[in-house]
């Protein structure tokens, strides 16, 4: 009889529970859809991504630092590679690699100085609201159904799924490059990107590099060869995701921010000669691509 009484008391207690309110450290929305992200089976990658969602400020916050007060917008927070490593137990080099992956996927942006980094979760505001944007609902559910009252909250973790979808859709199809490795797929599903797009991307992101005045057949072949090799490397580094124009643009943007030595003429005091900044051809080499992706070409 006592067991029946205890069960009744437990049920009554559950009836009076209220929806959690942001008190103290507060809470963040986390939906089961996070299990669909490409890196979910990588425990460290999934752990770090959830940690970023939990650490992001839910409202505009003024943070005191040793260089003065810094205003962090909603979805941003101040951190650093070593700080994240300490908070998550993940090795600093692994944290750096994962943050680079999230940046290339368009999931985060970062602004750094010599003291700390302001990290922003892209679309944080959109995906922490109480209603889910219509354009991500098909991604959140493969089978449309009527939304119940308890499903009105938009999952924060559908963001990377939506982002991946946007990146894959940037592969405008042309006849210039057929560098996808999906030989079993139909021609419409293959990744086709024009050499002109790649050339324009180089001009947009690396204006300081030594560029090209014309796109010759030899340079077209260089682009095709690079894309085929870099596509395989990207799949190894990004959990099977192909190289897209957004990924290529992220690679060039990383060079522009972190590999300044490639974009400057510098005197060689040992020989008295001048090291010239790199030409577009240099950035279309698979060896440089993988070294940049792994952080081996950062400014020293």
pLDDT tens, position by position, 172-217:
334 445 443 333 444 434 557 899 999 999 999 999 999 999 999 9
Q: By mean pLDDT, which of 31-35, 62-66, 96-100, 109-113 is the weakest?
A: 31-35
Number of domains in the chain: 2
The confidence band for 122, taking pLDDT boundaries of 50, 70 and 90, is confident
Instruction: Give 76: exposed, middle or buried? Use CB within 10 Å, 0-12, 13-18, 19+.
Output: buried
Do 41 and 151 lie in a common domain?
yes
User: In this structure, are 201 and 149 located in the same domain?
Assistant: no
Nearest by Cα to 31 from 121, 165, 141, 164: 141
Between the CA of residue 268 and those of 263, 276, 277, what are the distances in Å?
A: 15, 10, 13
CA distance 10 to 12: 5
Q: Are residues 92 and 202 in the same domain?
A: no
The pLDDT of residue 98 is above 60: yes
Judgement on whether residues 276 and 215 belong to the same structural domain of the protein: yes
Same domain, 255 and 192: yes
Residues 209 and 162 grouped into a single domain:
no
Last residue of a domain, one of 166, 189, 215: 166
Residue with tokens 């103290």: 24
Domain identity same for 203 and 153: no
**What are the Cα distances from residue 198, in Å, to 263, 281, 297?**
18, 12, 22
Instruction: Pick the more confident residue, 69 or 129.
Output: 69
Closest CA to 219 of 278, 275, 177, 260: 177
In a domain, 21, yes or no: no
CB atoms near residue 162 (< 10 Å): 21
| Rounded Cα distance, 101 and 105, in Å | 6
User: What Å distances lie between residue 81 and 101, 112, 254, CA to CA?
Assistant: 14, 11, 16
Residue 2 maps to a domain = no
Residues 6+ apart with CB under 8 A from 283: 202, 206, 209, 252, 255, 262
pLDDT tens string 12-50 = 444 443 333 433 456 667 767 677 777 788 899 889 988
Confidence (pTM): 0.41
Claim to verify: residue 281 and residue 184 sit in the same structural domain = yes
pLDDT band at 221 (very low <50, low <70, confident <90, very high): very high
Same domain, yes or no, for 219 and 131? Answer: no
Q: Could you tell me if 258 and 291 are in contact, meaning their C-beta atoms sit under 8 angstroms apart?
A: no
- Residue 125's pLDDT is 65
Query: Which residue's structure tokens are 């939906």?
Result: 31
The two three-digit tokens of residue 90, written as one number: 């993940």
Domain, as residue range, for 218: 172-293
Give residue 33's pLDDT: 66
Strand, helix or coil for residue 109: strand
CB-based contacts of 24-29 (< 8 A; 24+ apart in sequence):
26/58, 28/53, 28/54, 28/56, 28/58, 28/128, 28/156, 29/127, 29/128, 29/153, 29/154, 29/155, 29/156
Looking at residue 209, its pLDDT comes to 94
Whether 33 and 83 have beta carbons less than 8 Å apart is answered as: no
The phi, psi pair for 292, rounded to 5°, reads -65, -45
């Amino acid at each position: 009889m006592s067991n029946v009484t205890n069960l009744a008391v437990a049920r009554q207690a559950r009836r009076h529970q209220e929806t959690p309110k942001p008190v103290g450290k507060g809470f963040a929305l986390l939906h089961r859809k996070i299990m669909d992200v490409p890196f979910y089976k990588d425990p460290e990658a999934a752990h770090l991504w959830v940690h970023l969602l939990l650490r992001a400020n839910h409202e505009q916050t003024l943070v005191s630092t040793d260089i003065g007060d810094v205003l962090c917008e909603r979805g941003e927070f101040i951190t650093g590679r070593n700080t994240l490593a300490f908070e998550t137990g993940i090795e600093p080099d692994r944290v750096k690699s994962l943050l680079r992956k999230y940046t290339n996927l368009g999931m985060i942006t970062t602004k750094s100085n010599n003291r700390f980094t302001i990290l922003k979760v892209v679309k944080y505001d959109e995906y922490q609201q109480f209603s889910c944007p219509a354009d991500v609902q098909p991604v959140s559910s493969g089978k449309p159904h009527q939304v119940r009252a308890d499903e009105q909250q938009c999952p924060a973790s559908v963001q990377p799924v939506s982002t991946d979808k946007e990146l894959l859709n940037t592969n405008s199809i042309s006849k210039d490059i057929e560098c996808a490795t999906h030989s079993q797929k139909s021609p419409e599903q293959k990744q086709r990107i024009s050499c002109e797009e790649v050339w324009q991307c180089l001009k947009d992101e690396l204006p300081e590099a030594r560029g090209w005045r014309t796109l010759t057949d030899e340079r077209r072949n260089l682009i095709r060869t690079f894309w085929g090799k870099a596509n395989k490397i990207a799949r190894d580094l990004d959990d099977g995701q192909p190289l897209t124009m957004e990924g290529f643009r992220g690679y060039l943007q990383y060079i522009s921010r972190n590999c300044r030595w490639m974009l400057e003429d510098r005197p060689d005091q040992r020989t008295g000669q001048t090291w010239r900044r790199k030409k577009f051809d240099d950035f279309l080499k698979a060896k440089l691509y993988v070294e940049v992706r792994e952080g081996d070409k950062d400014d020293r």
